[in-house]
């Protein structure tokens, strides 16, 4: 088994294809060699060794790779003409991590390894630059102390012991910048640093280069298991088994004087995607100086430098003298760098993010990788590369990270303002976008304030359908309780409105009209800002900007349409949402939650009348008032979906969600209905349930109150006939919620079919319709073969199916799921990302059993997972006919569905 791969001087044992074994950095270093680019020689210890290290421990692994590492060092010695651990002409090396997936800043690096009192003298003499030699030495002692010897501060609040010493020395000398320190200061620093090491470890700083090298290599392997890296992996779903490689490379120096520099460059703009080479550099510096932000980096190109200066309000003269571009200071290196960037981009056929160093006028490449980018840049770069004939259509689609398309659809914060904003609380990123507004606590107030043209953020402990109108006028919604499928989250996503839910640490006091977060008490009218994409809540007003949907976005959607095998429908309850979704390319409605219509206008009164009536007659009277309103809603939706299927779900939520809970409203209702306040209160109390989510809801309502199903079926069928008569093609699909047994669906299907037959007879005309069910109770999935004898279609309600499969309450789960996630009990929130392993089995079984009974059975998903890329792909691969999601997630689902087709 080969564990070490060398590279240098145009040759390499590895290549770009060996990313899994050599890590991203190692594979690309090898490839750059093969492409004839200037790369300091070195070697890569494979990711497999990292796994061995975790399993067998340090000593065993050192023994395993000792010979190979020694040979590899000899290889570097022969290419550089220098000797490791030898003061005559010392070879110094860097040791860096490099995992399969990029994990920026998560793991450790040591530079200038091999330095000691003897080599520093030799380096000073050879370079003719003692300051450079001593600067490298003090950097090495500091880095080695931090990384290998464990002296790195544990938290941001701690002070790095080395930085503290450095500050003191600078203060004594009366200087501000590191570069202002002279040779003697640096010598003093090395001494002080070493004695700090001795105090900390009880041992002398290691002088032997070999001891240093093994320390460095093992520290990188150790850093794979550090807390930061583990957390990052968990967040980005990178498996622990992947391991990191270690790259050891001959040092090149950007800090050798005014003719040396170090920097980073991008072959295109990572923010906008513009085809413009750009980057930053620092003269006389090593890599960490660029990151540390102590000195202001300069731009590589003249054009970039001018743009930068204009943004900073710096005039041309000052720019050219104080902040010249690399094209001006080192034109030959700059041109070589640009030509390398072009070659690399052509080779990898993607935007490259590169690190380089210039040592005494010679350019060296230290790294290249596909650059991270914004959603907008992702779309533009891929489409530009397609137009440049560098990639094909399928590659364009596969390059999309579907979730990132979201950034293009919602308002975003002004980036520089965001940097200055204070985070006061964090909740779940329930519905993406950016919002800034004045705090209100009640839906009524949201409405009155909005009428006065004020921007508001609705802050609630949790929301219920009563808050819908307030939510509709708010810029954003913040709740203390509730998860990714809570009412607030689902409704906000449907509206395309920013929402942070389940921010458990905030304290909402409705009586005092205050909310406390991050140690500050906010009153009604105070400004806050929400980032629905990260879950962050900011103090004050952070400016936002509206998104622009360019032509490239449309082109991506067209490509998705060309390659997908799965349709994307939308979850929409109003004609407005339906139109929005059509605009994004939805082909039909997969879920129309009829209860949401009950809160529009005055209808809630009729709904309450229906609920509070003691008998069938009273209920029928109230339902008769609702009928025309529902019918006209359905007509609007059928029209918006001209020609596409529309799935309308019968009433689902427990009735107590519709009745008023505040005494004032209860009084009003009592007088309208000729009841006493006590009678209303008693009825409201009687609707209370211990577990409403498992209580009297779904088809259980329609079965106990068939008149409700009758009214809704009639409204749907009559609306369909009316729309058909206006020359619009219409395909109603009536969906029964929360079915768990064959009898339940039979019962409701009978009511629907009888009602439809009656309407057809009355009108002397008919329209085709389908009757189907949601599969959201585990029993429905288990008996899908029976249920399919009645159902024309299945739609997986994975919100409830997840709730009932895990036994996690949708509304209460965030309280412990946060802990679960942080402690690795679960990887992702199952209400957000479909649990393919568990819930997914029920879904698969439902599809298979259903289609075994009825091969032509139409199957889709309408739970929130229908807009989450990995879940969409799972459903597409199960052969579902469609996925359905909220309007603003339609583009994401379309791209994910197309990717699923291409992956097959």
| Residues between 478 and 537 with contacts to ligand PEP, criterion CB under 6 A | 490
Cα–Cα distance measured from residue 97 to residue 229, given in angstroms and rounded to the nearest whole number: 12
Report yes or no: 267 and 352 within 8 Å, Cβ to Cβ: yes
- In angstroms, what is the minimal distance from the CB of 143 to ligand PEP? 52
Strand order in the sheet with 507-509: 507-509, 514-517, 520-523
Report yes or no: 58 and 17 within 8 Å, Cβ to Cβ: no
Q: Is 661 a catalytic residue?
A: no
Q: Is 651 in the site for ligand PEP (CB under 6 A)?
A: no
Among 772, 814, 863, 867, binds ligand PEP (CB under 6 A): 863
Catalytic residue among 75, 487, 596, 865: 487
Q: Is 798 in the site for ligand PEP (CB under 6 A)?
A: yes
Q: Tokens for 72?
A: 């590899």
Residue closer to ligand PEP, measured from CB, 100 or 593: 593
- Choose the contact partner of 368 out of ligand PEP, Mg ion, none; CB within 5 to 8 A by kind: none
Catalytic residue among 862, 865, 875, 885: 862
Residue closer to Mg ion, measured from CB, 265 or 834: 834
Q: How many binding residues for ligand PEP (CB under 6 A)? A: 11
Among 345, 652, 811, 868, binds ligand PEP (CB under 6 A): 652
- Choose the contact partner of 591 out of ligand PEP, Mg ion, none; CB within 5 to 8 A by kind: ligand PEP
Residue closer to ligand PEP, measured from CB, 6 or 463: 463
Closest C-alpha to 236, from 107, 374, 370, 101:
101
Q: Is 135 in the site for ligand PEP (CB under 6 A)?
A: no
Report yes or no: 628 and 712 within 8 Å, Cβ to Cβ: no
| Residues between 579 and 618 with contacts to ligand PEP, criterion CB under 6 A | 591, 593
Residue closer to ligand PEP, measured from CB, 52 or 868: 868
Closest CB to Mg ion: residue number? 800
- Choose the contact partner of 862 out of Mg ion, ligand PEP, none; CB within 5 to 8 A by kind: ligand PEP
- In angstroms, what is the minimal distance from the CB of 778 to ligand PEP? 12
Which of 12-20, 321-329, 794-802, 873-881 is the region at the interface with ligand PEP (rule: CB under 6 A)? Answer: 794-802
Residue closer to Mg ion, measured from CB, 436 or 712: 712
Contacting residues for 762 by C-beta, under 8 A, at least 6 apart: none
Among 114, 304, 429, 797, binds ligand PEP (CB under 6 A): 797
- In angstroms, what is the minimal distance from the CB of 557 to ligand PEP? 25
DSSP state, 773? Answer: E
Q: Tokens for 824?
A: 């690795």
Where do the DSSP E strands lie in 300-433? Answer: 352-359, 362-370, 412-413, 423-426, 428-431
Q: Is 739 in the site for ligand PEP (CB under 6 A)?
A: no
The H or E element containing residue 771 is strand 770-775
Cα–Cα distance measured from residue 175 to residue 152, given in angstroms and rounded to the nearest whole number: 25
Neighbours of 156 (CB within 10 A): 5
| Residues between 766 and 805 with contacts to Mg ion, criterion CB under 5 A | 776, 797, 800
Cα–Cα distance measured from residue 850 to residue 836, given in angstroms and rounded to the nearest whole number: 19
Q: Is 851 in the site for ligand PEP (CB under 6 A)?
A: no
- In angstroms, what is the minimal distance from the CB of 652 to Mg ion? 6
Report yes or no: 801 and 843 within 8 Å, Cβ to Cβ: yes
Which of 134-142, 541-549, 614-622, 795-803 is the region at the interface with ligand PEP (rule: CB under 6 A)? Answer: 795-803
- Choose the contact partner of 410 out of Mg ion, ligand PEP, none; CB within 5 to 8 A by kind: none
- In angstroms, what is the minimal distance from the CB of 572 to ligand PEP? 13
Residue closer to ligand PEP, measured from CB, 222 or 864: 864
Neighbours of 475 (CB within 10 A): 23
Residue closer to ligand PEP, measured from CB, 776 or 832: 776
- In angstroms, what is the minimal distance from the CB of 643 to ligand PEP? 24
Q: Is 776 in the site for ligand PEP (CB under 6 A)?
A: yes
Contacting residues for 664 by C-beta, under 8 A, at least 6 apart: none
| Residues between 154 and 183 with contacts to ligand PEP, criterion CB under 6 A | none
Tell me how far CA of residue 632 lies from CA of 627, 637, 643, 716, 736, in angstroms.
9, 9, 18, 9, 21
Report yes or no: 457 and 424 within 8 Å, Cβ to Cβ: no
Q: Tokens for 474?
A: 């708010």
Residue closer to ligand PEP, measured from CB, 496 or 653: 653
SS3 state of residue 653? coil
* Main-chain dihedrals φ then ψ at residue 136, nearest 5 degrees: -65, -40
Q: Is 862 in the site for ligand PEP (CB under 6 A)?
A: yes
Query: Residue 8, by phi and psi: left (phi above 0), alpha (psi -120 to 50) or beta?
Result: left
Q: Is 862 a catalytic residue?
A: yes
- In angstroms, what is the minimal distance from the CB of 776 to Mg ion? 5
- In angstroms, what is the minimal distance from the CB of 801 to ligand PEP? 6
Neighbours of 727 (CB within 10 A): 7
Report yes or no: 454 and 526 within 8 Å, Cβ to Cβ: no
Q: Tokens for 607?
A: 């709904």
Q: H helices within 363-454, ranges in order?
A: 375-387, 393-399, 415-420, 443-451
Which of 307-315, 512-520, 797-805, 896-904 is the region at the interface with ligand PEP (rule: CB under 6 A)? Answer: 797-805
Closest C-alpha to 613, from 664, 673, 656, 700:
673
Which parts of this chain interact with ligand PEP (CB under 6 A)?
490, 591, 593, 652, 776, 797-800, 862-863
The catalytic site residues sit at 487, 862
Query: Interface with Mg ion by CB under 5 A: which residues?
Result: 776, 797, 800
């Amino acid at each position: 088994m080969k564990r070490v791969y060398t590279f240098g001087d145009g040759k390499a044992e590895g290549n770009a294809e060996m990313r899994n074994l050599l890590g991203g950095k190692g594979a690309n270093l090898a490839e750059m060699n093969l492409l004839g680019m200037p790369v300091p020689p070195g070697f890569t210890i494979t990711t497999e060794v990292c796994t061995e290290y975790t399993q067998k421990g340090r000593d065993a692994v050192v023994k395993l790779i000792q010979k190979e590492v020694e040979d590899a060092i000899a290889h570097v010695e022969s290419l550089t003409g220098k000797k490791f651990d030898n003061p005559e002409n010392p070879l110094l090396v860097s040791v860096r991590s490099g995992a399969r997936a990029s994990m920026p800043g998560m793991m450790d690096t040591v530079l200038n390894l091999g330095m000691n009192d003897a080599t520093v003298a030799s380096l000073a003499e050879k370079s003719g630059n003692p300051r450079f030699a001593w600067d490298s030495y003090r950097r090495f002692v500091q880095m080695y102390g931090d990384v290998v010897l464990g002296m790195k501060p544990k938290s941001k609040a701690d002070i790095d012991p080395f930085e503290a010493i450095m500050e003191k020395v600078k203060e004594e000398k009366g200087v501000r910048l590191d570069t202002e320190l002279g040779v003697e200061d640096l010598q003093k620093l090395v001494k002080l640093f070493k004695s700090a090491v001795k105090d900390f470890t009880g041992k002398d700083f290691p002088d032997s280069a070999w001891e240093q090298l093994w320390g460095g290599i093992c520290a990188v392997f150790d850093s794979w298991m550090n807390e930061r890296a583990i957390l990052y992996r968990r967040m980005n779903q990178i498996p622990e088994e992947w391991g990191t490689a270690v790259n050891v490379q001959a040092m090149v120096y950007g800090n050798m004087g005014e003719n040396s520099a170090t920097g980073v460059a991008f072959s295109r703009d990572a923010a906008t995607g513009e085809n413009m080479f750009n980057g930053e550099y620092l003269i006389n510096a090593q890599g960490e100086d660029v990151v540390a932000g102590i000195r202001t980096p300069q731009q590589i190109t003249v054009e970039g430098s001018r743009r930068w200066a204009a943004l900073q309000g710096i005039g041309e003269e000052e720019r050219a003298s104080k902040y010249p571009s690399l094209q001006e200071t080192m034109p030959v290196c700059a041109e070589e760098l640009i030509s390398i960037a072009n070659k690399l981009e052509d080779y990898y056929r993607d935007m490259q993010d590169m690190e380089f160093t210039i040592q005494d006028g010679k350019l060296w490449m230290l790294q290249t990788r596909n650059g991270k980018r914004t959603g907008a840049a992702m779309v533009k770069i891929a489409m530009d590369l397609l137009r440049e004939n560098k990639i094909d259509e399928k590659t364009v689609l596969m390059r999309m990270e579907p979730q990132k398309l979201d950034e293009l659809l919602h308002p975003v914060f002004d980036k520089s303002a965001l940097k200055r904003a204070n985070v006061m609380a964090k909740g779940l990123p329930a519905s993406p976008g950016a919002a800034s507004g004045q705090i209100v606590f009640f839906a009524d107030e949201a409405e009155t304030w909005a009428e006065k043209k004020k921007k508001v953020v609705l802050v609630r402990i949790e929301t219920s359908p009563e808050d819908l109108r307030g939510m509709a006028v708010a810029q954003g919604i913040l709740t203390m309780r509730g998860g990714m499928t809570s009412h607030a989250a689902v409704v906000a996503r449907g509206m395309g409105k920013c929402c942070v839910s389940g921010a458990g640490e905030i304290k909402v006091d409705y009586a005092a009209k205050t909310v406390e977060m991050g140690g500050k008490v906010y009153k009604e009218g105070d400004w806050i800002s929400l980032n629905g994409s990260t879950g962050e809540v900011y103090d004050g007003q952070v400016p936002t900007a509206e998104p622009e949907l360019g032509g490239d976005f449309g082109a991506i959607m067209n490509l998705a349409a060309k390659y997908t095998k799965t349709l994307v429908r939308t979850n929409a309850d109003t004609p407005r949402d339906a139109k929005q979704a059509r605009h994004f390319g939805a082909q039909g409605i997969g879920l129309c939650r009829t209860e949401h219509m009950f809160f529009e206008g005055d209808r809630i009164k009729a709904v309450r009348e229906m609920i509070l009536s003691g008998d069938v007659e009273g209920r029928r009277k109230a339902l008769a008032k609702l009928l025309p309103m529902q019918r006209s809603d359905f007509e609007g939706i059928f029209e918006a979906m001209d020609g596409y299927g529309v799935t309308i779900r019968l009433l689902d939520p427990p009735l107590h969600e519709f009745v008023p809970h505040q005494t004032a409203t209860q009084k009003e209702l009592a007088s309208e209905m000729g009841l006493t306040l006590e009678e209303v209160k008693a009825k409201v109390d009687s609707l209370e349930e211990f577990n409403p989510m498992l209580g009297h809801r779904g088809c259980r309502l329609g079965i106990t109150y068939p008149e409700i199903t009758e009214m809704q079926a009639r409204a749907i069928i009559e609306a369909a006939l009316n729309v058909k008569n206006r020359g619009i093609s219409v395909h109603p699909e009536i969906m029964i919620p929360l079915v768990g047994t064959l009898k339940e669906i039979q019962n409701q299907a009978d009511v629907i079919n009888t009602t439809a037959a009656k309407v057809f007879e009355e009108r002397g005309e008919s329209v085709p319709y389908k009757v189907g069910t949601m599969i959201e109770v585990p029993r429905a999935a288990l008996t899908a073969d029976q249920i399919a004898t009645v159902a024309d279609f299945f739609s997986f309600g994975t919100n409830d199916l997840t709730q009932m499969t895990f036994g996690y309450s949708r509304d209460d789960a965030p309280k412990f799921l946060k802990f679960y996630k942080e402690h690795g009990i679960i990887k992702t929130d199952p209400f957000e990302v479909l649990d393919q392993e568990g819930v997914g089995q029920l879904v698969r079984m439902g599809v298979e059993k259903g289609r075994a009974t009825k091969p032509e059975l139409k199957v889709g998903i309408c739970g929130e997972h229908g807009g989450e890329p990995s879940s969409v792909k799972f459903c597409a691969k199960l052969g579902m006919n469609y996925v359905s999601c909220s309007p603003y997630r339609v583009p994401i689902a379309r791209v994910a569905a197309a990717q699923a087709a291409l992956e097959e």
